Amino acid sequence: MLLVGLFSAFVVFLASLSKSKRDGLWIRLSFLLIFLFLALRYDYGNDYMAYYYGFKNIRYYDPEAHFEIGWQYLNLIFKPVGFFAMVAFLAAINTYVYYRFILKYVPSEYYWLAVFIYLFNPSFMLIQLSAMRQCVAILLFVLSIDSIYEKNIIKYAFYIVMASLFHTSAMILLLLYLPFIYNWHVTQVKAVILFILYLLMLFLGPSLGKQFFYVVGQYFDRYADYFGGTELNSGLGILYYTFILGLILYYSRNERSGEDLLYKIAIAGYYVLPFSFIVQLAGRVGLYMQPALIAVIPMIIKSIKSKDVRRVIVLSYVAMTLLGYYKLFNSEVFREKYENYKTIFSANVK
């Protein structure tokens, strides 16, 4: 944990040296280091070795196999050069997509915060380096955001169908196109209604979860391992991130209709959370919407006029993110596979 944490802190420091979009050397360097971290890793993350042995076993496309068609063919394409080369390729795509996203949507003075969220919020780099198939699907959704702005449904559908070839759960994103482009704006009344609705969903989660069980069982049987709910250790995180939802709803009112898409995506991600305490797959669906937070949080902070309030929000958000980071490294589920970073140069596999 200490080594990875120090590395991540150094990368955030480099990103902080980029003060404007013209001065992009430091953030480019920070993402180069992120690429090397991802490309050279070995047996890091819960699912790494499962994907490694899956790569060794895939010799032809098998429609009955656990892996989706897109992942199987990607493995077959990289067979001549090996699994490590495929991991490096995915690392390059990952860093390119997030680098492009941050430069396009994040205020330059908050590049450092966006990189911090990406590195220290477990939902991004740490979880996605393990969940390789869904990582590809998430990256394709992030790329599709431009097509939502353009209101190009054909291009959007192409990205989502491609994403579903790597993780079937991405198909649900097709249903979100109309709500994302519909010309509705978060007014003060709507913000209050949406906030109350979210609170009701938190309380009604158990009963709503029964319906989710049925859908998962009927249409996503390959994800039966995710039927159990996400453990809720304390209400502190829920309370704080509910407060953040309030900020998102409040400041989304200042964005002109049509330009508040990232706010809408971030808000949509919140409404998946109540289901994740019942069915883990719901948390996986929520991962598609969470990249919007990498831009939305800095956008909100920039909109806050009071320096003191800005400072409090930034420090509290950093503190809560670090708390989640600490919990991941000390979790019985993740500790063993995340505690020690190893590279391919130390690999001893057949």
The gap from C-alpha 55 to its chain's centroid, in whole angstroms, comes to 24
Q: State the Cα–Cα distance between residues 4 and 340, nearest whole angstrom.
A: 8
Tokens representing 131?
A: 């969940």
pLDDT score for 232: 46
Amino acid at 235: G
Query: Length of the chain, please?
Result: 350
Radius of gyration of the chain, Cα coordinates, nearest whole angstrom: 20
- 318 exposed, middle or buried (CB, 10 Å; 0-12, 13-18, 19+)? middle
pLDDT for residue 213: 54
pLDDT digits (tens, 9 = 90+) for 296-315: 999 999 999 899 999 999 99
Per the structure block, which two tokens stand in for 71? 């992942």
| Predicted local distance difference test score (pLDDT) of residue 212 | 54
What tokens appear for 175 in the block?
A: 């249903």
pLDDT beneath 70, residues of the chain: 21, 181-183, 205-235, 256-259, 274-283, 349-350
Q: Which residues contact 223 (CB under 8 A, 6 or more apart)?
A: 168, 169, 216, 281, 284
Residue 12 neighbours by CB under 8 Å, 6+ apart: 30, 112, 115, 116, 119, 120
pLDDT tens digits along 171-219: 989 888 777 766 677 778 888 888 888 888 777 765 555 555 555 555 5
Distance CA 186, CA 197 (A): 14
Nearest in space to 70 (alpha carbons), one of 170, 168, 171, 166: 166
Write down the pLDDT at residue 176.
Answer: 81
Write out 288-322 in H/E/C secondary structure.
HHCCHHHHHHHHHHHHCCCHHHHHHHHHHHHHHHH
Amino acid of residue 54: G
Q: Where are the domains of the chain?
A: 183-303
Q: Calculate the alpha carbon distances from 197 to 192, 251, 267, 271, 277 in Å.
A: 9, 18, 12, 9, 17
Pairwise CA distance, residues 98 & 298, whole Å: 15
